């Protein structure tokens, strides 16, 4: 990651270059990532660029950013659903079970049960409605 601005103790910023070893990615507990210690947050496009680099590393093939974002669209939607779940329930517990449990989603599959995981790539609004209870209103023709 070239030219990542890092704060200096005197209020100035210095540009630094870092190399990410995608073979050593892991998750850490939130106590390791206190909000007040964070210096940057990725935008949606920034997350797409990160996905592009990870996919390029894993596949050993360069792909355009638009392809990387399209390939990972369902994962982005799952992240949005997870945020909505935590806002609603104040905890993450139960989200994975909900995501993988077949249920009736009227606006998606009529009366046939389907797991939200299987439609997360294209039914974000319907799944958010299930989590939040908010209605989705579509314009009438």
Domain borders along the chain are 1-71, 73-141
With a CB cutoff of 8 Å and minimum separation 6, the contacts of 55 are: 63, 68, 71, 72
Distance CA 85, CA 37 (A): 25
What ranges make up the beta strands (E) of 1-141?
4-7, 13-16
Residue 102 has pLDDT above 90, yes or no: yes
pLDDT, tens digit, 9 for 90 and up, residues 13-60: 777 776 667 677 677 777 777 777 665 666 777 778 888 888 888 878
What would you report as the CA-atom Rg of the chain, rounded to the nearest whole angstrom? 19
> Using an 8 Å Cβ cutoff, are 118 and 100 in contact?
no
The interaxial angle of helices 44-59 and 73-89, nearest 10 deg, is 130
Global confidence as pTM = 0.60
Residue 114: its pLDDT value, please?
A: 92
């Amino acid at each position: 990651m070239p030219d990542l601005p890092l704060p200096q103790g005197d209020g100035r910023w210095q540009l630094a270059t870092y190399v990410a070893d995608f073979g050593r990615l892991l998750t850490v507990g939130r106590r390791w990532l206190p909000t007040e210690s964070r210096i940057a947050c990725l935008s949606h496009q920034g997350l797409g660029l990160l996905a592009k680099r990870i996919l390029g590393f894993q596949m050993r093939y360069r792909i355009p950013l638009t392809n990387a974002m399209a390939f990972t669209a369902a994962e982005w939607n799952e992240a949005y659903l997870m945020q909505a779940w935590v806002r609603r329930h104040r905890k993450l517990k139960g989200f994975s079970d909900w995501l993988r449990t077949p249920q009736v989603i009227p606006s998606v599959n009529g009366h046939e049960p389907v797991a939200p995981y299987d439609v997360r790539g294209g039914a974000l609004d319907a799944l958010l409605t299930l989590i939040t209870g908010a209605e989705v209103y579509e314009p009438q023709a």
